[in-house]
């Protein structure tokens, strides 16, 4: 077993791998009495086109989420919920653009819970009856999501930003997408992607890591794992321009909402890793729009905003920066926020202060088993592995790098989306 050490924090993440290829990440906190286990597959809602050997496949939007739902069925009469409820454990699952995760949370019976988590995820049970049943449930979920203004705003902005990227489409798929999914589609995706070599297990809590690794290896050794098909995901080339520069829509809101998003080619930050790029960008945004920024204080004092937030993330070859605002004066705020983005600044003092805050948040985060579990998942999915020097680099951020990244930001390619209350 290998150790991934955060030396300055005094924290260790244990790593091992089963013979079948399943990676195992473990973090021990002896101060807690609970545990959090997640089994994740690197398959999400954007992965609708792929190739196996020389054959290409296209599956309906929403199938990753549909598979997540139907996977809880263990037989015609039982579900995974039934089993875990008897053990006093809480189970859930979620699907994102990039991956799907099955999770178990409890205070006792860790070994039995982890064993069954592996058993039900790696035991296929798919029937036309189960597929038909889930369609009704998921369609209701789709309808509920359609009435959520935040979701509407987010996906409509994605449609304004992206010409080809599948983030334009709901994770759940539309009602028509859900209706079109077949049991054969589900089996195809499961058999292609739900392989230990395309998955990873993360467990955080109070336990003996060596005992848990031995247990997982023993459980997986008994399973008849087929040969990995090595699928290749296929994504369309995304254009640099945005689809819509500006759009006004209506929604179920009491106060207008604004979303201003910038689409910046990642190649502008090629000197830096994705993780470092996002780290500095988020610090820059926080310094200029965060809770202690002069702009935010001024806008609140003048009652021009009720909420203001920022986002930054990477989509393929692009860095996306978003400002999200709730205001009674949307068009006035648009001008103010765009002007602020065009005049971003950072000082050594403010950078240092923000870095210390982020470092402290990281230290405190290691008291939370869910925080660490999510952190590990994020590292694996978005940055291809755990960076054990990350918090040290946060603590020692370089003002010259911050200014270099600031200079590299290109802000001429953006979209403005405003949601006004329905009449």
Q: Which residues contact 147 (CB under 8 A, 6 or more apart)?
A: 252
Dist CA 183 CA 61 (whole Å): 14
Dist CA 205 CA 203 (whole Å): 7
CB-based burial label for 154 (10 Å; 0-12, 13-18, 19+): middle
Q: Are 99 and 381 in contact (CB under 8 A)?
A: yes
Token look-up 């009491």 returns 254
Torsion of CA 169, 171, 177, 178, to 10 degrees: -170
Annotated catalytic residues are 68
User: Phi-psi region for residue 386, left (φ > 0), alpha (ψ -120 to 50) or beta?
Assistant: beta
Dist CA 247 CA 1 (whole Å): 54
Dist CA 292 CA 191 (whole Å): 50
Dist CA 64 CA 54 (whole Å): 23
Q: Which residues contact 375 (CB under 8 A, 6 or more apart)?
A: 365
């Amino acid at each position: 077993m290998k150790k991934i050490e955060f030396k300055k924090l005094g924290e260790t993440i244990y790593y091992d791998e089963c013979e079948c290829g399943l990676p195992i990440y473990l973090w021990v906190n002896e101060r807690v009495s609970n545990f959090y286990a997640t089994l994740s597959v690197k398959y999400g809602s954007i992965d609708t086109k792929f190739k196996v050997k020389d054959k290409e496949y296209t599956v309906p939007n929403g199938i990753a989420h549909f598979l997540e739902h139907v996977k809880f069925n263990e037989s015609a009469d039982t579900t995974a919920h039934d089993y875990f409820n008897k053990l006093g454990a809480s189970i859930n699952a979620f699907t994102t653009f990039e991956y799907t995760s099955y999770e178990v949370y409890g205070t006792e019976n860790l070994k039995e819970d982890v064993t069954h988590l592996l058993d039900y995820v790696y035991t296929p049970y798919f029937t036309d009856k189960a597929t038909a049943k889930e369609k009704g449930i998921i369609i209701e979920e789709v309808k509920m999501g359609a009435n959520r203004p935040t979701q509407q705003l987010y996906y409509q902005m994605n449609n304004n930003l992206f010409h080809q990227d599948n983030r334009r489409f709901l994770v759940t798929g539309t009602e028509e997408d859900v209706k079109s999914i077949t049991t054969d589609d589900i089996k195809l995706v499961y058999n292609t992607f739900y392989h230990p070599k395309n998955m990873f297990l993360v467990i955080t809590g109070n336990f003996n890591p060596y005992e848990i690794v031995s247990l997982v290896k023993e459980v997986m050794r008994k399973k008849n794992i087929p040969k990995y098909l090595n699928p290749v995901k296929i994504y369309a080339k995304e254009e640099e321009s945005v689809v819509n520069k500006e759009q006004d829509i209506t929604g179920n809101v009491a106060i207008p909402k604004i979303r201003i998003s910038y689409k910046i080619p990642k190649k502008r930050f090629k000197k830096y890793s994705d993780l470092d790029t996002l780290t500095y960008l988020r610090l820059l945004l926080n310094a200029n729009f965060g809770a202690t920024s002069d702009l935010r204080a001024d806008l609140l004092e003048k009652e021009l905003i009720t909420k203001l937030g920022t986002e930054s993330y990477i989509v393929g070859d692009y860095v996306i920066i978003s400002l999200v605002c709730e205001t009674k004066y949307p068009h006035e705020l648009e001008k103010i926020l765009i002007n602020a983005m065009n005049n971003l600044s950072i000082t050594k003092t403010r950078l240092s202060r923000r870095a210390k805050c982020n470092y402290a948040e990281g230290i405190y985060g290691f008291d939370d088993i869910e925080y660490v579990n999510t952190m590990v998942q994020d590292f694996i999915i978005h940055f291809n592995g755990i960076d054990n020097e990350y918090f040290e680099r946060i603590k020692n951020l370089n003002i010259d790098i911050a200014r270099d990244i600031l200079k590299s930001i290109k802000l001429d390619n953006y979209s403005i989306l405003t949601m006004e209350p329905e009449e």
